[in-house]
Amino acid sequence: MSIITFISSLFGCKTSGITTKEPNAPLIKYSYRLSNTSIMPMKEFTVEKIDEITCKVTFASDFDPQKGGVVMDSLETSIGLLQEIEKEVRAHKMYKYKEHYTPPFRILDGKSWIMSMKFEDSYFYSSGENEYPSDNGLYIIADIVEKAIQNHKR
């Protein structure tokens, strides 16, 4: 039994696969990280509900060895951002993603990613190395969050 399967069993849910049911409760946290072989992640963010009208976005903004590596920033914005993410999660049925994606052949260089979603009633996790789900849900959500970060910087 994998550690993810064990942890998810504590929450009373499955982590992935076509037998995973659609969550009945709202999304309260979404995290994503995309990395390559460099030390700085290509993308890393978490969007988490604070209260009924606000969510917090924490994201990798820089790499500074003097500050211990990856520098994380945060901002607060409307809960509408998390609701927009949830809309895409449900539209792409991302709660049915496999636990892990790998190509049929070995690649020693490339990209890896990890995504987790926490709903009020369940938790879902998926990751991959040089392989992705067949839809574009991960990319759409990453773009939505990136636009929110850029709009906040203006």
What is the reported pLDDT for 2? 47
Say what the pTM is.
0.83
Using alpha carbons only, give the angle 92, 73, 39 rounded to the nearest 5 degrees: 80
Instruction: Quote the DSSP letter at residue 92.
Output: T
What is the reported pLDDT for 3? 45
CB 33 within 8 A of CB 47: no
What does R_g of the chain's alpha carbons equal in angstroms?
A: 16
SS3 at position 127: strand
Q: Which residue ranges make up each domain of the chain?
A: 24-153
102: its two tokens? 């790998």
What is the reported pLDDT for 110? 82
What is the reported pLDDT for 4? 46
Using alpha carbons only, give the angle 149, 114, 51 rounded to the nearest 5 degrees: 50
Hunting for tokens 């067949």 — which residue is that? 134
β-strand partners of 45: 32, 59
What is the distance between the alpha carbons of residues 57 and 46, in angstroms, rounded to a whole number? Answer: 6
Residues in the chain: 154
What is the reported pLDDT for 66? 80
What is the distance between the alpha carbons of residues 29 and 24, in angstroms, rounded to a whole number? Answer: 15
Q: Which of 17, 41, 28 is nearest to 94 (CA)?
A: 17
Instruction: Quote the DSSP letter at residue 23.
Output: P
Regions of the chain short of the pLDDT cut 70: 1-19, 39-40, 154
Is 24-153 CATH 3.30.1560? yes
What is the reported pLDDT for 104? 87
